[in-house]
A = this chain, B = another copy of it.
Amino acid sequence: VTDLFWPGDERAGALMSEVSFLETMVRVEGAWLNALVSSGLAPAAAHADPATVVTSDDVDHIARAAEAGGNPVMPLVQVLRSRLDPDAARWLHRGLTSQDVLDTALVLMTRDVLDRLADELRSQILAVSILAEHHAESPMVGRTLTQHATPTTFGAVAAAWLDGIVDAAEVAAAARRSLPAQLGGAVGTLASTVELAALRGRPSPTAVARDVAMRASEALGLRDHRPWHTSRGPLTRASTALVSCADAWGRVATDVATLSRTEISELAEPSGDGRGGSSTMPHKQNPALSVLIRRAALAAPALGSTMHLAAAMAGDQRPDGAWHVEWATLRTLGRHTVVAASQTTELLQGLRVDTARMTATLVSSAHDMLAERRGVAELLEASPDPDPTTYLGITGDLVAGAVERGRIFLEENA
């Protein structure tokens, strides 16, 4: 899967792709069908593996047929029923509603995205920790509101990136843990499954219905949860995690773009294969990764706001548009985020740091750099040390603290 409009999109592979969407919906149908069987509500003959009967060739037909009912589940069920054995066909999708299948598939695909992000975040934490420790004593100019301010170290800069990345990683890990299945039937009451159990003469029909939901959730590796057709917290938590990651990376990319400006040149992106080249100026080395990461960071907040809006407008027992807007929004946000994750990892692993340039700039700006120090000295009637590379405050502690926090995060989320 590539996207000519979003260079780097192939880094997301099949995550949140149309084929993955189809396959995952089929998997949900299968998990439910087999839970009906294993709980004794459907006959053993209904057991089936629906995954074997659809292929990526079905995507186009199902997508086209999806509009009539407003979602792709109905045509998918028709396709599956036409291809499964009669018993399986008869029992397929019994007790489910379209939103169950689609939401659970969204959740499973989101889980895959979050798993991939977890890998990338782990790599990033390692890479930034190395940068921070390696440059714990590399002094550089600190900049505020675009102007030279007082000295810092590149290690401290990297430590601040690291804190931002670990913040995001914590949000993402929490979102990953709380992903629920959606299995509620037409209005979230599992009524037809309860009815089945009652007609089957089971003593506690509601317990049986809940047991079916639990079996299907377990089969999919998701939390069993009361239906959340119009309580969209699970999706806003997940989408917020994606946006928060983009925030953390956007901020790193903004710094790299600035610090690799021709006039500053303290950082440079990893080079290789025409990376950062220009169509007309062979000398140019554009910070292409940073630029593409910033792109994602500019796009993510608005996409995240649509997910919240959808949650806020989710009325009745299933909503009239607010649900439908989530699918593509979450897909776009998910793929963009994975692409940016991978680009950020590459950026951080290959970042080139010009410490000589950093020192030179700091020294050439020494007088201004030490204005604050002179103020302190004046206060105590002391004479200030004129060396800007010794006015570094707690930068060492910042590095040690952030790296330690990262280490603990990695340990706890191994």
Contacts and interface: CB of A to CB of B under 8 A. Distances in A.
Contacts of A93: 279-280
A336 to B, nearest CB: 8
Which of A253, A313, A322 has the most B CB atoms < 10 Å from its CB?
A313
Interface in A215-262: 226-234, 236-237, 240, 243-244, 246-248, 250-251, 253-255, 257-258, 260-262
A309 interface: yes
A215 B310 CA distance: 43
**Chain A contact residues: over half helix, strand or loop, or mixed?**
helix
A147 interface: yes
Nearest to A251: B314
A93 B278 CA distance: 12
Contacts of A188: 142, 152, 156, 160, 398
The quantity of this chain's copies bound in the complex is 4
A350 to B, nearest CB: 13
A144 interface: yes
Interface in A37-55: none
Given A321-B295, A371-B283, A308 B243 contact: yes
A112 interface: no
Contacts of A2: 59-60, 63-64
A328 B394 contact: no
8 contacts: A96-B279, A143-B187, A146-B261, A149-B278, A150-B185, A247-B311, A261-B263, A261-B264
Contact of A393 (B193, B255, B261, B304): B193
A301 B233 CA distance: 14
A188 B324 CA distance: 32
Nearest to A391: B191
Given A189-B398, A263-B361, 17 more contacts: A5-B331, A69-B275, A142-B188, A142-B189, A142-B316, A143-B316, A145-B287, A150-B191, A159-B226, A186-B278, A196-B376, A231-B251, A247-B311, A257-B320, A258-B316, A294-B324, A295-B324
B147 A286 contact: yes
A109 B311 CA distance: 27
Interface in A347-391: 361, 365, 367-368, 371-373, 375-377, 379-380, 382, 391
Given A195-B376, A244-B233, A3 B63 contact: yes
A135 to B, nearest CB: 14
Contacts of A185: 150, 280, 393
